């Protein structure tokens, strides 16, 4: 069984500052993928970034980057130069070898960017 | 690329009505589609996995006869909430993947969701 834990229900950050959203995971799979999604108040799920379990380098995608520490089973999302439009719910998720690669989601972190 | 369209975006209907929600992959073929349910301020709960041309695989606790899923083509999956009641009111969202590919390498692309309200 896979488990995703997001321990920060809510986070505040000032505009233009960087923020780190925490995510730890647990799995018995040797190969797995880790994803971050953004969900604005309008409801759509926006794919942000992906990290494969065998990727040696941390993934980056524009202002998004991952601090992937495999031994600690953590994959924290770093958002640099925060913008007001970054205010949203952020979900960490993983998929593994079983179950058709279905996703297991964490409980999410509500991020609010302030002026 | 990788656009998923979900329709309708908002439904309000009377108790006892059946409601059909469509999920379409617009610019890719989706061998697998997923249906989720989300309660306010909570995470996404996977309801079922839908593979083209075969029966859907439902998660434990999800009523197959209540939530009918059909994946008749590589670009369309439908979720029908049969004889809907107020407790079925929720946000339903679908996602699609092009192909299994590398483990976890293919992200799921989501539709915009459907807000279902049963009176």
From first to last of its 115 residues, chain A has per-residue pLDDT tens of 889 999 999 999 999 999 999 999 999 888 899 999 999 999 999 999 999 999 889 999 999 999 999 999 999 999 999 999 999 999 999 987 655 578 999 999 999 999 9
- What confidence score (pLDDT) does residue B101 get? 52
Please give the Cα distance from A70 to A54 (Å, whole number): 9
- What confidence score (pLDDT) does residue B102 get? 47
Residue B2 — very low, low, confident or very high, per pLDDT cuts 50/70/90? confident
- What confidence score (pLDDT) does residue B103 get? 46
Q: In A, which residues are within 8 Å of B106 by CB distance?
A: 101
Cβ atoms of B37 and B47 closer than 8 Å: yes
What value, to the nearest 5°, has the Cα angle with vertex A101 and ends B41 and A54?
A: 105
Binary contact (A50, B44; C-beta < 8 A): no
Q: In A, which residues are within 8 Å of B108 by CB distance?
A: 35, 47, 103
Q: Do the bridges between strand A10-14 and strand A109-114 make them parallel or antiparallel, or are there none, so unpaired?
A: parallel
Who contacts B63 (Cβ-Cβ below 8 Å, separation ≥6)? none
Binary contact (A45, B95; C-beta < 8 A): yes
- What confidence score (pLDDT) does residue A96 get? 79
- What confidence score (pLDDT) does residue A51 get? 94
Please give the Cα distance from B63 to B81 (Å, whole number): 10
Please give the Cα distance from A73 to A78 (Å, whole number): 16
Binary contact (A52, B51; C-beta < 8 A): no
Nearest CA-CA partner of B113 in B57, B50, B39: B39
């Amino acid at each position: 069984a896979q488990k995703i834990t997001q321990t920060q229900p809510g986070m505040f950050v000032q505009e233009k500052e960087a923020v780190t959203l925490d995510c730890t995971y647990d799995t018995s799979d040797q190969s797995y993928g880790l994803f971050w999604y953004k969900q604005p108040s309008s409801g759509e799920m926006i794919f942000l970034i992906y990290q494969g379990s065998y990727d040696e380098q941390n993934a980056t995608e524009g202002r998004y980057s991952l601090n992937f520490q495999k031994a600690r089973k953590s994959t924290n999302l770093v958002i640099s130069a925060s913008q007001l439009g970054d205010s949203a719910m952020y979900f960490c998720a993983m998929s593994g070898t079983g179950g058709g690669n279905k996703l297991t989601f964490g409980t999410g972190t509500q991020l609010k960017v302030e002026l | 690329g990788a656009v998923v369209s979900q329709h309708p975006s908002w439904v309000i209907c009377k108790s006892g009505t059946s409601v059909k929600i469509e999920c379409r992959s617009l610019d890719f073929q989706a061998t697998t589609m997923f249906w989720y349910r989300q309660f306010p301020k909570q995470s996404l709960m996977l309801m079922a996995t839908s593979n083209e041309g075969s029966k859907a695989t439902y998660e434990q606790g999800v009523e197959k006869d209540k939530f009918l899923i059909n994946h008749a083509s590589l670009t369309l999956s439908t979720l029908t909430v049969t004889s809907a009641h107020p407790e079925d009111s929720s946000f339903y969202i679908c996602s699609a993947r092009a192909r299994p590919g590398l483990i976890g390498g293919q992200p799921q692309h989501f539709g915009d969701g459907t807000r279902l309200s049963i009176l």
